[in-house]
Amino acid sequence: MGRERTAEEVSARKAKKERGKEVKRAAVEAAAPPPAKKRKTLGIDEALVVAQDAEDKIAAGVRLASQLNPQKKGFNKALRDGWPDMPPNLRKRISRRDRNSDKAKKSDLPKMAIASMPFPAEAKDHCETSARSFADIAPLLNLIAEKIGKAPAELKLWDPYFCRGAVKGHLAALGFSDVRNDCEDFYKVIKRGSVPEHDVVITNPPYSDPKDGGPPHASRLLTFLEDNRRPYLVLMPEYVASAAYYAPLFPKASREPLLLCPRKRYHFFSPPGSRDSKKKSHKHKELGVRSSPFVAFWYVSLRPQLRRKEILNLARSGTLGGISLAREGTQEEERGAEEKESTEDAVADAAVNKSSAGC
């Protein structure tokens, strides 16, 4: 038979069990989530204020989906927190305002059939330039504006090739609101001498062969730009730089445009209905069918405001908003290019002065 426990032993055993239970209870309580806070109910007056703020943001271009999404730049915390308790009629009003803003935005771009254009147009290259491509050159446009003493919104930009006019919205979003892109025949404008007042030409010409059998559009455009003597930024395929007509257009090396290569291939958008495609492709509800048929570069010349050397130095120093040099030339190459450009500039200045004096 076993020995009976003493009263002290029984008491100690009970105390040990109680301590074990206390430890378990503490562990369970520590692991349990904190009690949920009671959500504050949105009063009608507060709901009206939140709704009005949301509608103001929609009018400013911040979509409802962005305001309700914490991951988006336009996130509206007050709206997201109050949305579940907001009266149904207010939610419907905000949603309706959001839908109407989308319709208004789409109606800004005219629906024009290619056949109705006042110039020959090919469906395969009747495309709009993407917003991202314009964002890449915004630092250069800001630089030109600074050089000529204008605010970005005052810089007069001219895109002579018309597609549907989306370029105006893309550039306005970057702060450049003075953009001319009219539905007119660029070559007739040149012929009749009615080139509009502008500070910079920024465009994306057709890539197909002209229907009139004349020189390629890129060749015609570059010829005009050389005579125009104003800064230009032209988005064209990389093969243009190796075309037979390209080098003769720039007998002086200092006048040859710099090539700005995107880090990611650009897309283009064919307006809805402008081309028939049975293939499944990405479609933008406002801009149309997305495509990327060529690797495209920006052909950049900012003369007379900035010479090649100045642009390259700014890119090298990292002060051009993400634009950097793809390849550094040797010291001999750079020194030779700088000396040649300086000599050509001096000759050009002398020619201009002589011409002015003769007048």
Across the range 52-73, mean pLDDT stands at 84
| Residue with the two structure tokens 């629906």 | 111
Q: What confidence tier does 87 reach under pLDDT thresholds 50, 70, 90?
A: confident
176 neighbors 155 (Cβ within 8 angstroms)? yes
Residue pair 20/59 in contact (Cβ under 8 Å)? The answer is no
Strand, helix or coil for residue 177 = coil
Rounded mean pLDDT of the chain?
77
At residue 231's C-alpha, the angle toward residues 122 and 135, to 5°, is 70
**Does pLDDT of 149 surpass 60?**
yes
Q: Which residues of 207-228 are buried (b: 16+ CB within 10 A; e: fewer)?
A: beeeeeeeebbbbbbbebbeee
Higher pLDDT, 348 or 345: 345
**Mean pLDDT calculated for residue range 11-15:** 85
Amino acid 288: pLDDT = 54
The residue that leads in pLDDT, 30 or 303, is 303
Contact residues for 125 (Cβ-Cβ < 8 A; gap 6+): 206, 207, 208
Of residues 56 and 219, the one with the higher pLDDT is 219
Paired with 179 in beta bridges are 157
Averaged over 301-310, what is the pLDDT? Answer: 90
More confident residue, 322 or 285: 322
Q: Is 245 exposed, middle or buried (0-12, 13-18, 19+ CB in 10 A)?
A: middle
Looking up tokens 């009266």 gives 87
**Cβ–Cβ < 8 Å for 202, 233:** yes
Q: What's the confidence (pLDDT) of residue 344? A: 44
What's this model's pTM, rounded to 2 decimal places? 0.59
Model confidence over 88-142: pLDDT tens digits? 888 888 888 887 765 545 445 555 555 455 566 665 666 778 788 888 899 999 9
What average pLDDT does range 41-70 have in this prediction?
A: 83
Q: Yes or no: say if 215 and 245 are a contact pair by the CB < 8 Å rule.
A: yes
Question: Is 26:61 a contact under the CB 8 Å cutoff?
Answer: no
pLDDT at residue 337, rounded to an integer? 47
Among 93-102, 257-266, 306-315, name the one with the lowest average pLDDT. Answer: 93-102
pLDDT of 13 strictly over 90: no
Residue type, 255: R
Order of strands across the sheet that contains 232-237: 179-180, 157-158, 200-203, 232-237, 296-301, 258-260
Total Cβ atoms within 10 A of residue 121: 21
CA-closest candidate to residue 217, choices 119, 344, 340: 119
Instruction: List the beta bridge partners of residue 128.
Output: 269
209 contacts 167 by C-beta, under 8 angstroms: no
pLDDT recorded at residue 257: 92
Q: In this model, does residue 201 exceed pLDDT 60? A: yes
